[in-house]
Structure 1
Amino acid sequence: MISLPYLLRSENIVRIEGKHLLIGDRRVYPFEKRFERCSSVPEIASALKRMVTQGGGPLDVALTAMEFVSKQMKEGIIQENFAELERSAALLIASRPTNTTMKRSLLALLEELRGDPDFVAQVEPLVEAKKAVFDQLYHQLGKEGSALIPDKAGVLTTCFAEHTFLLSLAYAKEDGKDITVFVPETRPYLQGSRLTAPSLEEMGIDVRVITDGMGATFLSTGDANIYMTAADLVCMDGTVVNKVGTLGNAIAAHRYMVPYYAFSVSPDPTKLDARDIQMEWRDAEEVTQCMGNPTSSNGMQALYPAFDIIPPDLVTGVVTGKGVLKPEEIKRNFQ
């Protein structure tokens, strides 16, 4: 029986309680199990921008936020106006521009509702149906990913790859495979050491936390014999976008002939290649501190590109709802 760890249970990602939307605060896990309480869409968008949740979390939060807006409309807190629903979606989309799955899901929802005089009542069932599709897709990709994992597996990852990656490991473990996962800490938020590693430990999977610069070493020794990450975005030519640090490990994996697979629930048909990517740069001050503590001298200049662009020639395959595809197969399957 496959069970999800605390962080991936739906009620701990986001839920509506009374007049508030609660977002599981991944910035403080595992030291605290805290929720950010939001009473409006601007507050929800601000929470997304402040990285209260990351990875696949913003998708769940954004969809639930649309339910929250419809609830506020029913209760007379805000006006029953389709334009208000559109404004809410625009705020959410702008909060995380690299997350195009979130954007396309919200825009698709709006198109399904457009012109329906009873659109307010239709938001909740449509959102719940979309969530159910994604949940089913997570398990499908998890099973596909588990088949790629060798029996004696040293799995290198980056950041917090959420449902698809963790489910791959869970299904591989269920099949009796011997797995050790190498998890870079993932500066500056430490999603690897704070989110991925505790979740794997909770699932009973052998895990080792390493620093961000150690991936190439474990690839070179053969301790890590497969590299697997999430993908915040996949272009039609097979270009992958994921947390900064992914590119260096992908280059090292290529050098040492270790396969690199990225999980994508939704390659973006509007992004042909790297030229179409809007790169998200974040506040450089986040690089000069860690968990609120300074890591350099006061006023030090820094840079923080939040994501890496991994060219297709470094990608062995992309795990999708249409199978494990080579980069050159993405376009004909998704466009």
Structure 2
Amino acid sequence: MKDLLATSIRCLDNQLEVLDQHQLPHKEIWLPCRTADDMIDMIKKLQIRGAPLIGIGASLLLARLAEDGMGEADLREAASRLRAARPTAVNLMNNLDSMLTALDTGGPDALPYTAEQLFEEDVRLCQKMSANGANLIAAGSNVLTHCNTGSLATAGAGTAIGVITALQAQDKHPHVYVDETRPLLQGGRLTAWEMQKLGVDYTLICDNMAALLMAQGKVDAILVGSDRIAANGDFANKVGTYSLAVNAHYHQVPFYVVAPYTTVDPACPNGAAIPIEERSAQEVQGVSGSFGEVLWSPKNARVFNPAFDVTPAKLVTGWILDNGVFDQEQIAQGALLHLNN
């Protein structure tokens, strides 16, 4: 497999490595990924994260295993185990389906090329989404984001943050309000880190401050990513997204979801059919990262910790995809059912 390099994953000299996002922003540590168990563990620990990137990571891992001589039956078993690592993110399933199709038609030797194509496609998809979204946002806008949707979450420039990157490149100079994104602080740790890398003016806020900013007229648009978009336009994203959409609707702030066509699941009729991962209680009882671990709740506190929530299509201003920008009328007419890149 040829060398591939992105912000948070790289395959150099036939060695696959992942940037440990759990240690950001204070430590930049690259971890070797040699087995399916390695990748599954990294996905579950969110050392690798973002719907597009985990699909790319799983594909690259299968390609490396094939290059190392793993047989077809074992490759299929590894793909099955990888598929279960993150049930909400449909990109993982879509990419693995592409890898298995290649395995069916060309055997293990076909996997490295297929993984390379998926990686390079994601870079192109990010470019297209970024350009489509940047056309909608005026210069000097105050943009609010949730979770992390940049180059840490994709092979390219990102989804929602990809739009911000394009705005910056066009000298539109956005100001970004960064939701810290509880309980894992992907905004405070990762998006803030990316904004600094990009030279974008930003302000970090607690999640529950967003409605106040909207009420004060300080938010011009909201851009979020997605882990799965249903056929009717409902979508799952990092928990807290639904609250933003409700507040945006009330305050008449444009609310956009930015995602590649690989995040759309035409077989999923609506948001009620999207599986929602529930994660460890420890993530809500305290916090951990490069700074160590802190426990602030009673150890036996009962916890509800869904990783995602579902935003109904009726709260979305527009769906910014690589294929174009779709409004509610187009989505209601089935625009997501027949997408192709």
Question: Does the aligned pair in 1 maintain the 2:285–2:295 contact within 8 Å?
Answer: yes
Deviation for aligned residue 1:329: 2.5
CA distance in 2, matches of 1:91, 1:29: 27
What one-letter code is carried by the residue in structure 2 that aligns with 1:131?
F
Which residue of 2 is the match for residue 130 of structure 1? Answer: 118
Which residue of 1 is the match for residue 135 of structure 2? Answer: 147
Q: Give the one of 206, 209, 217 matched to 1:211.
A: 206
Q: Give the one of 66, 81, 86 matched to 1:70.
A: 66
What one-letter code is carried by the residue in structure 2 that aligns with 1:64?
L
Deviation for aligned residue 1:17: 5.9
Q: Tell me the secondary structure at the aligned position of residue 210 of structure 2.
A: helix
Which residue of 2 is the match for residue 316 of structure 1? Answer: 317
Q: How does 1:205-284 map to 2 (within 5 A)?
A: 205-266=200-261, 267-284=264-281
Distance 1:19 1:39, change over 3 A: farther
Q: Tell me the secondary structure at the aligned position of residue 172 of structure 1.
A: helix
CA distance in 2, matches of 1:227, 1:23: 29
Whose helix proportion is higher, 1 or 2?
1
Question: Does the aligned pair in 1 maintain the 2:257–2:319 contact within 8 Å?
Answer: yes
Q: Tell me the secondary structure at the aligned position of residue 324 of structure 1.
A: strand
Q: Tell me the secondary structure at the aligned position of residue 16 of structure 2.
A: strand
Q: Tell me the secondary structure at the aligned position of residue 253 of structure 2.
A: coil
Please give the per-residue CA displacement for 1:58-102, whole angstroms capped at 9, x wherever unaligned: 1221111111211221xxxx4x2x222211111111000111111
CA distance in 2, matches of 1:43, 1:64: 13
Q: Give the one of 55, 59, 62 matched to 1:59.
A: 55
Question: Does the aligned pair in 2 maintain the 1:67–1:127 contact within 8 Å?
Answer: yes
Deviation for aligned residue 1:206: 0.3
* Amino-acid identity (%): 27
Of 47-56 and 218-227, more deviation after overlay is shown by 47-56
Q: Give the one of 31, 35, 43 matched to 1:36.
A: 31
For structure 2, the residue ranges without an aligned partner over 5 or more in a row are 151-157
Deviation for aligned residue 1:126: 1.4
Deviation for aligned residue 1:20: 5.7
Please give the per-residue CA displacement for 1:175-232, whole angstroms capped at 9, x wherever unaligned: 2223110001111221101111111111111000001111111111111110000011
Deviation for aligned residue 1:15: 2.9
Question: Does the aligned pair in 2 maintain the 1:16–1:68 contact within 8 Å?
Answer: no
Question: Does the aligned pair in 2 maintain the 1:238–1:328 contact within 8 Å?
Answer: no
Which residue of 1 is the match for residue 295 of structure 2? Answer: 294
Which residue of 1 is the match for residue 168 of structure 2? Answer: 173
Question: Does the aligned pair in 1 maintain the 2:126–2:159 contact within 8 Å?
Answer: yes
Q: Give the one of 329, 332, 335 matched to 2:335.
A: 332
CA distance in 2, matches of 1:13, 1:67: 18
Instruction: Provide TM-score, normalisation by structure 2.
Output: 0.89
Question: Does the aligned pair in 1 maintain the 2:178–2:205 contact within 8 Å?
Answer: yes
Distance 1:84 1:171, change over 3 A: same
Q: Tell me the secondary structure at the aligned position of residue 68 of structure 2.
A: helix
Question: Does the aligned pair in 1 maintain the 2:56–2:118 contact within 8 Å?
Answer: no
Deviation for aligned residue 1:35: 2.3
CA distance in 2, matches of 1:141, 1:16: 25
Deviation for aligned residue 1:18: 6.9
Question: Does the aligned pair in 1 maintain the 2:56–2:115 contact within 8 Å?
Answer: no
For structure 1, the residue ranges without an aligned partner over 5 or more in a row are 1-8
Which residue of 2 is the match for residue 45 of structure 1? Answer: 40
Please give the per-residue CA displacement for 1:115-166, whole angstroms capped at 9, x wherever unaligned: 43xx222211111112111111100000011111122311011000121222
Which residue of 1 is the match for residue 154 of structure 2? Answer: none
CA distance in 2, matches of 1:154, 1:105: 34
How many residue pairs were aligned?
319
Deviation for aligned residue 1:39: 2.8
Deviation for aligned residue 1:19: 8.1
Which residue of 2 is the match for residue 93 of structure 1? Answer: 83
Instruction: Provide TM-score, normalisation by structure 1.
Output: 0.90
The answer to whether the aligner puts 1:112 opposite 2:114 as a matched pair is no
